[in-house]
Structure 1
């Protein structure tokens, strides 16, 4: 078993020291309210005691943390008082991420995260190991994982071959028994048969280390593509950050917004302006918020995908990216649940798109950060990459019936009416007038309904189901039938009246706040049932084929 880098002891000592520092100080405050002899004068003594106790616990945690690479599992043992030991089988390992911040890169340290399929939580985290040790662990675990899969495939092939041989031997024996009664041919378990087929040698407990495979480079994000991706994308993290600052706005931020709005007719100070000046202040503040959000999004995207490279080693995709925070990891192709091509109006205008993959337990924009296969590239190149990866033919999309467009027209008209009603209510309680100017939103209803309808479509291929939806962030998802977990038909009250239905197709990947389950929206009920039935039949066929080809022993029952 190995230990973490010695600097980890310092890190844990400081971490637990500052955390435990507050425990005796809080105890002094509580006891001071109950007993008169206890006062705040005890703080200079209580704080160092808590820090020393926490630092001692951190050092003990470092010495009690061990990890090791065995022939079959990656083992981790941790805990000072409550001991925890984990044995992670290689066949369950989903990804091994290596993360380095600026300070960690200066010190030559890295954080290694081992993730398994079946959930979004990290199974084991090593804080910290040396940079060379992190790369060694990443490569060694990945190679052992590939070796375990290869041995499993070999055993499955041997089992199938042995089954075929046993059937042929039984046929030969029955023919011999029919020709020569009273004599028996040697059976597989006899010494004579043992000389014909030599039993395979048992695997050694100390298996040899697999050789390092050659890494093939597949994609590298060029500087021009990085800039295009940064300036044509909007990161949800930037929006959340600006909203957080807005809700925690300090006097300095408010004074700054007022000062920026003054040249455009804003109030000289809060509480000293007119209704029109406050309207200008609101408008200027909104524009400033949009600009700040966009700038933060550009900076975040640039730093996240700086020097992005994608390669392939054996059957795994390997990637690395990041400027200040450097990431590297892998995307196991045998655990890919679906592939999604994404683009927004700006990217479609310049003919670019991105490619994301979802693996078991992890969805796009998840914390693992391993899901972007191609952040941005020429649209044709992304489509070719998708077809080569999945084997799907070029989709011939079917659109929902035109009845769906009428439904969107009514929906957006109701939404516009709500906007006008809100504007009218604001004029009743404020000095603002001309509420009817809000009716301009009705002009956006027809194009919005058409654009939503025009970007919907689905394609039922021989081995895949392809679903397209969305305008501002259009997503075209390719789902192999054998990856489908559930297929559900949804019908709202309005859909039932129009004879429409929506079909949701779920896989084993985790969904995130900003990505929803792939859904075929607003098709005729008969078409939804037909897709449901076709998906069920082809799922059964795909599972039977995989069970026959790989010996997976899967059940083909579909419920």
Structure 2
């Protein structure tokens, strides 16, 4: 791979499709709707569509021809660009992960899209969108430090392997609201399109007829059920056939029924395990397990999904099998009672300020509705207080907090890049402090209103990391 190489020929079509999706699709839809509204003939529409397709294919051909890559002196060099020439030089030591993705067309022709990730990046440093599987595997072996382990991954010599069952996959989709937003977005886009071509009024009349003759409660329940089923279907297609393997010092996750993804992470670059308990999953006793890796930025949560759904009593077994480096059972201690009042006030005061104008402008006789907001804010703060906690066992730390979902970070002290503690005058009077911790994955977490003695214990825990680093340098 020392000489410049081009992508697979299918990359011409893939580039044209990507251009249509990213830039030209809204313009094409607007153009088509204008043609339909003005009553142009079918032959004119076919001629216009043919011209658009030819322009896209020509652009895809030029883009494919201008795209080259090579590995020279342990450096990946990627050159691309039609109007503006771009040259990316990525040293091997900066590359943290190389992920393989397969869409429907990729799988038909046994090719992959290769994403090259560097430490802390918010997006891939380079994307080779059409490579044969053999070239992709060769590129991974050339660029990743542990090439022997990569060979074992693809040879199937896995030390541990686990597949997500159909029942777990369905439950994961049923308790996740991520795909529901996509459904609502597509619905709003379809409504806008109907408005452009003049069919929105007819649809509104039909909906009014349905509203008059159908019980609104049943209609709303039916719509919610359909949207929920579509959301579940979206999650099943996205994470279906989820397979987790560990071979040597490398973790690999493979998933997706339509678009197949392969994410490979060296264990040495994993900084923490992040346990997420959603509002629907927490009462059922389920976690979603993510990894905090130096190869991915804070927006790459999807790529760092370690296991979609696991029960609390099975979590330790899962980590012992695949990540024994993070399989510590750490008892958590709650925050001091003095912190409870402060958490409740943090929820009560903003809600009270929000309720004040509502209280003024509500008609007389209904101010109790506005008074409910501060009560809910105080209860929300109390819920966050009860969810928070931390614990240390040996060199391992666990920190739990809540925004909407409850999140627990589990990490060794070597993973912490920085540790900071601070206190306001009011916290100082109550003997409380706040702390924050920063990881190489750009994740930042911490707790408010921890006792000063406990913060000193956490400081000593962090200093032990520094002392161990000094001993390693001396050795």
Distance 1:503 1:21, change over 3 A: closer
Distance 1:325 1:379, change over 3 A: same
Tell me, in whole angstroms, the C-alpha distance in 1 between the residues paired with 2:289 and 2:23. 46
The CA deviation at 1:87 is 4.6
Alignment correspondent of 2:5: 2
Tell me, in whole angstroms, the C-alpha distance in 2 between the residues paired with 1:20 and 1:523. 50
Q: What is the number of equivalent residue pairs in this alignment?
A: 443
**Among 449, 460, 474, which residue is 2:392 paired with?**
460
Distance 1:16 1:382, change over 3 A: closer
- Indicate conservation of the 8 Å contact 1:416/1:439, yes or no: no
SS at 1:394's partner residue?
Answer: coil
Distance 1:330 1:489, change over 3 A: same
Tell me, in whole angstroms, the C-alpha distance in 2 between the residues paired with 1:18 and 1:230. 26
Unaligned runs of 5+ in 2: 26-46, 193-199
- Indicate conservation of the 8 Å contact 1:67/1:74, yes or no: yes
Distance 1:400 1:87, change over 3 A: same
Alignment correspondent of 2:274: 340
Distance 1:16 1:362, change over 3 A: closer
SS at 1:233's partner residue?
Answer: coil
Q: 393-402 or 47-56, which moves further after superposition?
A: 47-56
SS at 1:467's partner residue?
Answer: strand
Tell me, in whole angstroms, the C-alpha distance in 2 between the residues paired with 1:475 and 1:416. 24
Alignment correspondent of 2:174: 231
Trace 1:373-522 onto structure 2 (pairs within 5 A).
373-386=306-319, 388-391=323-326, 393-418=328-353, 420-421=355-356, 423-428=358-363, 434-440=366-372, 444=376, 448-470=380-402, 472-491=404-423, 495=427, 498-511=430-443, 517-522=444-449
SS at 1:317's partner residue?
Answer: strand
TM-score by length of 2: 0.76
Trace 1:175-190 onto structure 2 (pairs within 5 A).
none
1:72 and 2:14 aligned: no
Tell me, in whole angstroms, the C-alpha distance in 2 between the residues paired with 1:477 and 1:17. 41
SS at 1:523's partner residue?
Answer: strand
- Indicate conservation of the 8 Å contact 1:18/1:51, yes or no: no
Tell me, in whole angstroms, the C-alpha distance in 1 between the residues paired with 2:18 and 2:154. 39
CA RMSD of aligned residues (A): 4.4
Tell me, in whole angstroms, the C-alpha distance in 1 between the residues paired with 2:214 and 2:371. 26
The CA deviation at 1:238 is 3.4
**Among 433, 457, 465, which residue is 1:539 paired with?**
465
The CA deviation at 1:340 is 1.1
Alignment correspondent of 2:113: 111
Trace 1:89-128 onto structure 2 (pairs within 5 A).
89-128=91-130
The CA deviation at 1:493 is 7.0
Distance 1:80 1:347, change over 3 A: closer
Distance 1:354 1:218, change over 3 A: farther
- Indicate conservation of the 8 Å contact 1:337/1:507, yes or no: yes
The structure whose Rg is larger is: 1
Q: After superposition, what is the alpha-carbon deviation per residue over 1:460-486, rounded to whole angstroms, capped at 9, x for unaligned?
A: 333222101127521110122222222
**Among 166, 181, 184, which residue is 1:242 paired with?**
184
Relative contact order, CA 8 A, sep 6+: which one is greater?
2
Greater per-residue strand proportion: 2
Tell me, in whole angstroms, the C-alpha distance in 2 between the residues paired with 1:455 and 1:20. 44
- Indicate conservation of the 8 Å contact 1:20/1:51, yes or no: no
Q: 537-546 or 444-453, which moves further after superposition?
A: 444-453
Tell me, in whole angstroms, the C-alpha distance in 1 between the residues paired with 2:82 and 2:270. 38
TM-score by length of 1: 0.66
1:133 and 2:134 aligned: yes
The CA deviation at 1:308 is 0.3
